[in-house]
């Protein structure tokens, strides 16, 4: 009886995934020409392209999550991308702890959360069958504070017509020629990421912040960032990113 009940639960779970995949595919059918990365803007490094494998998870809860982690899996959720910016119906899955841990270690947490991945959902870890294959963006990542063990990760679907809120990492360049830094002042970094609404096909892996013309007392704000014109800044353009801090070097006064 117990085996029969488990079999029915498994069958219903697999059918739910297949039906959700079909509905999502219909909703994502559109005639727009996909956007592309423009010359001169950062593109994702293909060497970090990887397919994340997952299995369905029927139940949630503290005890279930603890069992998943003990088995070497990370309890995860995939949110539907229904209106372009918000979550929607969730799908419970589990991903392999070693795979997520490796990606976070190689990319860094902020870069992991701004990169698209292919996600394959299989009936179980040893199966070659694929229930669903979808492109996703990691939405949130929870690590254990003392060990950096992956506790859970949330994904959101990223079809080509999706608009996604992304905290894009900032990379500071031109510090070697910055007039203010060459005078002995220091760089006060206020923001290390910038939140943009990005078309899924052109999410930047990072945004460059050019310090090459920044003098003492000067600052850069969100509106100074050079990005693809299809990206939309979420916060105020006047929000500060960084500033060259420190006293201006003065010439000695002559008597």
- Per-residue pLDDT reduced to its tens digit, 55-111: 998 877 788 888 888 888 999 999 986 454 455 678 899 999 999 999 999 999 999
State the pLDDT at residue 244: 95
CATH 2.30.40.10 fits 166-245, yes or no: no
Residue 178: pLDDT over 90 = yes
How far apart (Å, rounded) are the C-alpha atoms in residues 169 and 55? 30
Q: What percent of the chain has pLDDT over 90?
A: 61
Q: Which is more confident, 242 or 65?
A: 242
Selected residue with higher pLDDT from 14 and 165: 165
In this structure, the chain runs to a length of 255
Sign of CA dihedral 226, 227, 229, 233: negative
Beta bridge partners of 152: 142
Question: Measured in whole angstroms, how far is the alpha carbon of residue 2 from the centre of its chain?
Answer: 40
At which residue do the structure tokens 């010359």 appear? 39
* Token output for 165: 């809120």
- The pLDDT of residue 232 is above 60: yes
Residue 53 has pLDDT above 90, yes or no: yes
Q: How is the chain split into domains, by residue range?
A: 48-159, 166-245
pLDDT given for residue 122 in this prediction = 93
Top-confidence range, 26-35, 141-150, 207-216: 207-216
Range 204-217 burial, b when 16+ CB lie within 10 A, else e:
bbbbbbbbeebebe
Q: Minimal CA–CA distance to 100: which of 145, 62, 133, 138?
A: 138
CATH 3.40.50.11030 fits 48-159, yes or no: no
Averaged pLDDT score across all residues of the chain = 83
Q: What integer pLDDT is reported at residue 26 of this predicted model?
A: 33
Judge whether residue 3 has pLDDT over 50.
Answer: no
pLDDT of 23 reads: 37
Helix (H) or strand (E) segment spanning residue 134: strand 132-143
How large is the average pLDDT for residues 129-143? Answer: 92
Do the first three CATH levels of 48-159 and 166-245 match, i.e. the same topology? no
Q: What is the pLDDT of residue 66?
A: 85
Nearby residues of 17 by Cβ (< 8 Å), 6 or more positions away:
56, 91, 121, 131, 132
Average pLDDT score over residue span 230-247: 92
DSSP label at 191? -
Q: CA angle, corner 228, sides to 225 and 232, nearest 5? A: 75
- Per-residue model confidence (pLDDT) at position 21: 45
**What share of the chain in percent tops pLDDT 70?**
80
pLDDT, position 125? 81
Task: Give the integer Cα–Cα distance in Å for 134 and 178.
Answer: 44
- Window from 26-30, 33-37, 247-251 with minimum mean pLDDT: 26-30
> What does 205-237 look like in DSSP terms, one character per residue?
S-EEEE-TT--TT-EEEGGG----TT-EESS-T
The arithmetic mean of pLDDT across residues 23-36, rounded, is 48
Joined together, the tokens standing for residue 6 give 């488990």
pLDDT value for 124: 86
Q: Are 41 and 227 in contact (CB under 8 A)?
A: yes
Burial class (CB in 10 A: 0-12, 13-18, 19+), 54: buried
């Amino acid at each position: 009886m117990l085996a029969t009940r488990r079999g029915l639960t498994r069958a219903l779970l697999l059918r739910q995934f297949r039906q959700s995949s079909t509905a999502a595919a219909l909703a994502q059918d559109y005639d727009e020409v996909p956007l592309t990365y423009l010359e001169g803007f950062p593109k994702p490094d293909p060497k970090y392209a990887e397919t994340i494998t997952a299995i369905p998870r029927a139940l949630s809860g503290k005890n279930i999550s603890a069992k998943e982690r003990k088995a070497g899996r990370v309890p995860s959720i995939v949110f539907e991308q229904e209106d372009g910016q918000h979550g929607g119906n969730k799908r419970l899955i589990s991903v392999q702890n070693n795979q997520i841990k490796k990606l976070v270690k190689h990319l860094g947490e902020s870069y992991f959360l701004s990169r698209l991945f292919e996600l394959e959902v299989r009936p179980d870890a040893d199966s070659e069958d694929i229930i669903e294959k979808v492109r996703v963006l990691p939405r949130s990542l929870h690590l254990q504070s003392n060990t950096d063990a992956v506790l859970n990760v949330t994904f959101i679907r990223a079809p080509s017509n999706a608009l996604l809120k992304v905290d894009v990492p900032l990379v500071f360049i031109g510090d070697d020629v910055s007039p203010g830094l060459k005078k002995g002042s220091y760089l006060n970094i206020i923001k290390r990421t910038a939140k943009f609404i990005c078309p899924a096909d052109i999410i930047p892996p990072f945004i460059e912040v050019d310090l090459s013309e920044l003098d003492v007392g000067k600052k850069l704000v969100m509106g100074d960032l050079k990005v693809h014109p299809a990206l939309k800044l979420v916060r105020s353009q006047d929000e500060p990113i960084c500033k060259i801090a420190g006293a201006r070097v003065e010439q000695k006064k002559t008597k």
